Amino acid sequence: MAKSKRFFMYLFLSIAAIVSIFPFLWMVVSSTNQSVDVTRGRLLPGTHLLENLRKLLDTTDLQLSLMNSAKISITTTLLALLIASLAGYGFEVFRSRSKDIVFNILLLSMMIPFAALMIPLYRMFGQISNVFPWMGIDTIVSVILPTVTTAFLIFFFRQSTKMFPKELLEAGRMDGLSELGIFLRIYLPTMKTTYAAGAIITFMSSWNNYLWPLIVLQTPQTKTMPLLISTLGSGYAPDYGMIMIAIVIGTIPTALVFFVMQKQFVAGMIGSVK
């Protein structure tokens, strides 16, 4: 009985793992095949990888989209970590009744659907365009600003700050460090795993963001990777091999970030759930 239970356990997990991995394998294999072979369901690697890549470079501005996505995601991640960790730390270390109320109001913003924000935000950036074109519609700033602060990340940092040893705070004060000095020199290095987990979450959601960039980025010069992939995939006679190499390239950065920081990610998540 126990043995057959073990067997079904491994069988179930293996099926789940195969189903999870299969679309990735297919996407990578297809990026090396010709379009016809992809539609025929060929599951073996082919020899058309470089040809597909060349076609992609010829028909799209891949480097530009990669650069746009990189600029947006890296800036968003750095700013988001700084803003949210300052706030999470501030809410936890300098507690007061009024601050708890403000914190709860901020949490309410997690319930606001983006669908309700997109039209006012679009009009807001339209108006900004008239005064400051560098941060209006069709700029990288307009993609970053509305997404850079999330109540979730503030909540995440506040939860993790509960685990931060308060004796270190006192020690810092005794040594005559300023409050900002304590934050930068003691808190920041101690909370590395929390920052790593926060970085993964933010980088991934920023790199993969679609709806807001779709609305606010309107010229080919500002296209991000998801926008590029979306337009490639919507054609009537799609070149499957070429699209697959675009998807593979678009997935590499988030996959890399995840694998490099996986340990910290799990540790950071556990810290926040406790």
Partner 1 sequence: MHQTNSKLRFRTKSVLTGWSFVLLAVILIFVFYFYPMLQALILSFQTGTGSNLTFTGFDNYSRLLSDKTFIVSVKNTFIYLLVQVPLMIILALFISVLLNDSKLRFKGFFRTAIFLPCVTSLVAYSVVFKYLFSGNGLVNTMLLKLHLVSAPIEWITDPFWAKITIIIAITWRWTGYNMIFYLSALQNIDHSIYEAAKIDGASSTRQFFGITVPLLKPIILFTSITSTIGTLQLFDEVMNITKGGPGNATQTISQYIYNLSFKYAADFGYAATVSYSIVIMIALLSVIQFKVAGDKNG
| Residues in 144-183 that interact with partner 1 by CB under 8 A | 145-146, 148-149, 151, 154, 179, 183
Residue 94, phi then psi, degrees to nearest 5 = -105, 65
Could you tell me the two tokens for 164?
Answer: 């931060």
What is the SS3 string spanning 116-134? Answer: HHHHHHHHHHHHHHHHCHH
Binding mask 190-229 for partner 1 (x = CB under 8 A): --------------x--xx-xx---x---------xxx-x
| 21-41: b (≥16 Cβ within 10 Å) or e | eeeeeeebbbbbbbbebbeee
The verdict on 15 binding partner 1 (CB under 8 A) reads: no
Total number of residues binding partner 1 (CB under 8 A)?
81
Binding segment for partner 1 (CB under 8 A), chosen from 46-54, 59-67, 108-116, 133-141, is: 108-116
Q: How far is the CB of 57 from partner 1 (least distance, A)?
A: 18
Among 52, 161, 254, 264, binds partner 1 (CB under 8 A): 254
Contact with partner 1 (CB under 8 A) among 112, 163, 168, 171: 112
Binding to partner 1 (CB under 8 A): which residues in 18-77?
19-21, 23-24, 26-27, 38-39, 41
Helix, strand, coil percent values for the chain (each to nearest 5): 80, 0, 20
- Cα 197–198–202 angle (5° rounding)? 120
Judged by DSSP in three states, 164 sits in coil
Tell me how far, at minimum, the Cβ of 226 lies from partner 1, in Å.
4
